Copies of this chain bind each other. A is one copy, B any other.
């Protein structure tokens, strides 16, 4: 790729001359850290965020070359812009920055829903600006600019969901950005993406939030004991449930159809297993447990466990 060609100084040419990150939470600050560490992602890294405290923290951490309060100003002259904010805020922010986007700029994102991103950003996209939605399948339960780390994306998949008429060069550039972050890049359509993440990520989070609030609803005495005796199984669920509330609220609301479909299937299956427990159907229970183990083995074989 041309982007890999060495510059006069012998250092590889950065992918972007001016890359603007809108939002700098776990994902945004991890991209910033990779970009700073590698030097071949952005010649100039611009970060904008809504809160003054976050901007101050970005300056303290030295995460960007330019820290800019005004998103419209931040994107000016940028050849790359990445939304790293909750998906529910995309439309409003896009409306604000759209008139300021440079011709030929590539707009991308890191949101966990892709149908909603296409729905919210496409109508506002200026002519000559390229949209390449992306979703790095990586994260922890921590949030904010301090939560990021440069290794977050290593060995994890990043899904790209380019549109039918997307400029192949723009898609290649975003793919290369993620490869430089250590990611394996896959391309698929937004509908399939949203269905897959509904089962592998959104439903597990909905379930984790639910079981924790179910526990919280138990009588005061039992609840204290729940906390005291929280065993392995529950501990893992509370870890998932510690994730950022605004981000997850937006994810649920913006992947409604697929999430509700998967929730429906899951509840049917949970009831079927509950029924087998009620009626003492040992074989059915064992079969279901063994199917769970099969999925686990599949993950281990794929080095994703």
Binding site for B on A (CB under 8 A): 137-140, 157, 159, 186, 188, 192, 195-197, 199-201, 203-218, 222, 225-243, 245-246, 248-249, 252-253, 256, 259-260, 262-267, 269-271, 273-274, 277-278, 280, 282, 285-286, 288-296, 298-299, 302, 304-305
Q: Which residue of B lies closest to A256 (CB)?
A: B277
Chain A interface, DSSP helix/strand/loop, else mixed: helix
Please tell me how many copies of the chain the complex holds.
2
Name the B residues within 8 Å of A295 (CB-CB). Answer: 212-213, 215-216, 226-227, 238, 241
- Known A269-B210, A270-B206: A304·B236 in contact at CB below 8 Å: no
State in angstroms the CA–CA spacing of A299 and B232 once bound together. Answer: 12
Assess the A233–B260 pair: CB atoms within 8 A.
Answer: no
Among candidates B205, B222, B232, residue contacting A233 with C-beta atoms closer than 8 Å: B205
Answer whether A199 and B226 are a contact pair too, CB < 8 Å, given A210-B269, A252-B285, A280-B253. Answer: yes
List B contacts of A259 (CB < 8 A).
Answer: 274, 277
Q: A196-B222, A212-B292, A213-B269 are in contact. Are A230 and B263 (CB under 8 A)?
A: no
Q: Which residues of B contact A140 (CB under 8 A)?
A: 232
